[in-house]
A and B are shown apart, each in its own frame.
Chain A
Amino acid sequence: MSKSTDPLQQIYRIIIGLIIIGFVYVIWPYIATVVVMLVFAFLFTTILLPGVDNLERKIKSRGLSVLIMTIIVIAVISVFLGGFTSGLVKQAKEFSSQLNQDDYISDLNSFAEKAVNSLPEFVRDIIPRTGNMADKLQGQVSGILQNLLSFAGAVGSFLFTVVMVIIFTVIILYGYYHFRKSLVRFIPNKYFEIGLRLIFNIERSVSSYLRGQLLAATSVAILSIIGLFILNAFGANLTLVVFIGIIAGLANLIPLVGPFVGMAPAILIAFMNNLGNDIALGHKLFGVVPSPFFIPDIILMFLIVQQIDNNYITPKVVGQSVGLHPILVMIALLIGGTLLGPLGMLFAVPTAGVIKVVGQEIAFVSRNAHLL
């Protein structure tokens, strides 16, 4: 190829590139949902792939392995969500019926009174005295129930997304190695081996990170459940213990913010269950520190679980698989949170990990460009 055509070719490439960017920009609103579904499907595939490979090793059929794995995952999620929803509804009903009882109303009002009276006088004057706290709470609860109806509509579209993600995941899991081979076919000879290396490294990094995180989340969930049972043994009167533990484990997947989110349901339930119980209100942590409704106990328990997780579990199971600097983790979380909310925070670190691996490979290629 003569050199005189190079500038023309470059202009041609730039024009083609601009057309592609413009096209993607125009069609993005229509394909965004599908792309997000595919990203989720890819992440689930990465988590489930070793399990499917192991099953295939035993039963010698890829299709059957994918089917069994899908049934197991759907069953586990259904049991969890079913149990959690029914437990939550039961809890809400109990709380709602408690609000209708006069004793409970007076307890709540006296608690509100006590809380206000314990404040310094200048703060007390600022708080408007609008009477019955129980009435207000009851109004809030019925408001929440009305909101549930509009929530049902959102659940419908969410279920559609879930079904689509499951279908995509099954298809990718079944033909994973075939898809990878087809993808590799498009890499030009010059970049072929480096491309293979890149795909392999990304696969390895993301899958070890995700599996490590899942193991760490499971450990946090189990430790939290044990901790909550211990608190119950001391009279904390917590219900939905298993679900609180699982939520704490899942929340733990979001670095930095997650552990605090994980505490919230436990504190809320401790407050709801123990309202009106003078023993719980006057409880003291280690017999010294005032701990109304066992809330400081719960916070301390979660802090201990966090310490065990941060110092012993996560370093072992997640290790240096992504190895990002804490500042980079924070920046990734902020960007993820701004772009996609909690989901963005969940995927921020693995995405940053993928970008890091790609960056390392590009740096490697540019250092060794003479080898291509």
Chain B
Amino acid sequence: MENAFWGNIFQGWRREESPTVLTLKQVPIFEGFSDKRYREIEKLIHERIYKPNEYVFKKKAPGVGMYIILSGKVEIFIEEADGKKQTLVELEEGDFFGELSLLDEEVRSASAIAKDHSTLLGFFRPDLFSLLERNPELGNKILLNLARVIGARLRKTNELLAESQAAK
């Protein structure tokens, strides 16, 4: 029996964080929010389960939003003109992809396929728009974080481009 005087009887008072919130905290787009805000975001997140080799989306399909990997692995690839598959990246738990689709209705630039039994968290444009209507403060913070992520990717792309040009 636990000693009521010395034991930490207040442990049960702490709110257990769900795996979804724990994963969201690792994603730069959802970084730096209070626990209350994470619970609000969690309400907008769609949990999807994929079997191995099941497509998450295909190249040129209209994009609706981004995915975060809660568990499993996802391969991002493009098919070349000769039908050869070129893997761009293999993503794991905590990684995210497809965030550009939160901003525009452009088609996907690559395909995504689950490599294992995977659980993905989807965050989609209609939900972001409704969040901007109802809670603009939170919605704008997410947009600002999204802009930072895209800015960081752009900077990295510039660096790689500069490196490859310098190598020529």
Cβ contacts A356-372/B at 8 Å (1 or 0 each): 00000000000010111
Spot the interface stretch: A50-58, A151-159, A217-225, A244-252. A50-58
A196 to chain B: closest residue by CB: B64
Q: Is A193 within 8 A of B130, CB to CB?
A: no
**Are A57 and B130 touching (Cβ within 8 A)?**
no
User: Is B143 engaged at the interface, CB distance under 8 Å to the other chain?
Assistant: no
Q: Is B115 an interface residue (CB 8 A)?
A: no
Q: Does A184 contact B (CB under 8 A)?
A: yes
Q: Does B124 contact A (CB under 8 A)?
A: yes
Interface residue ranges of B103-136 to A (CB < 8 Å): 122, 124-127, 130, 133-136
Q: Quick check: B48 and A189 within 8 Å, CB to CB?
A: yes
Beta-carbon contacts under 8 Å, A182-199 to B: 184-185, 189-190, 192-194, 196-197, 199
In terms of DSSP, what is the predominant structure of the interface of chain A?
Answer: helix
B46 lies within 8 A of A185 (CB): yes
Contact A193 B133 (CB under 8 A): no
- A371 with B61: in contact, given A53-B130, A53-B134 (CB under 8 Å)? yes
> Can you name the residue of chain A whose Cβ is closest to the Cβ of B54?
A189
Residue A178 CB within 8 A of the other chain:
yes
**B43:A181 contact, CB within 8 angstroms:** yes
How many contacts A-B (CB < 8 Å)? 57
CB neighbours (8 Å) of A178 from chain B are: 43
The yes or no answer to A234 lying at the interface (CB within 8 A) is: no
A200 lies within 8 A of chain B by Cβ? yes
| A50 nearest CB neighbor, chain B only | B133
In B62-120, which residues have CB < 8 Å from any A CB? 62-65
Contacts of A193 in B (CB 8 A): 57, 61-65
- Quick check: is A177 within 8 A (CB to CB) of the other chain? yes
Task: Give the docked Cα–Cα distance between A185 and B136 (Å).
Answer: 26
Contact status A177-B64, CB under 8 Å? no
Q: Which of B44, B65, B125 contacts A177 (CB 8 A)?
A: B44
Note all chain A residues with C-beta closer than 8 A to B59. Answer: 371
Given contacts A192-B48, A193-B64, contact A177 B124 (CB under 8 A): no
Q: Which residues of A contact B134 (CB under 8 A)?
A: 53, 56-57
A residues near B60, Cβ cutoff 8 Å? 368, 371
Contact between A368 and B124 (Cβ–Cβ < 8 Å)?
no
- Alpha-carbon distance between A193 and B62 when the two chains are bound, in angstroms: 8
B interface, CB within 8 angstroms of A: 43-44, 46, 48, 50, 54-65, 122, 124-127, 130, 133-136
- Apart from A56-B135, A178-B43, A200-B125, what 18 extra A-B contacts exist at CB < 8 Å? A53-B130, A53-B133, A56-B134, A57-B133, A189-B50, A189-B54, A192-B122, A193-B57, A193-B61, A194-B62, A196-B126, A197-B62, A199-B126, A200-B64, A200-B126, A203-B126, A370-B58, A372-B61
Q: List 26 A-B contacts (CB under 8 A).
A: A50-B133, A53-B130, A53-B133, A56-B134, A56-B135, A57-B134, A181-B43, A181-B46, A185-B46, A189-B50, A189-B54, A189-B55, A189-B56, A190-B55, A192-B48, A193-B63, A193-B64, A194-B62, A196-B124, A197-B62, A199-B126, A200-B64, A200-B125, A368-B61, A371-B58, A371-B59
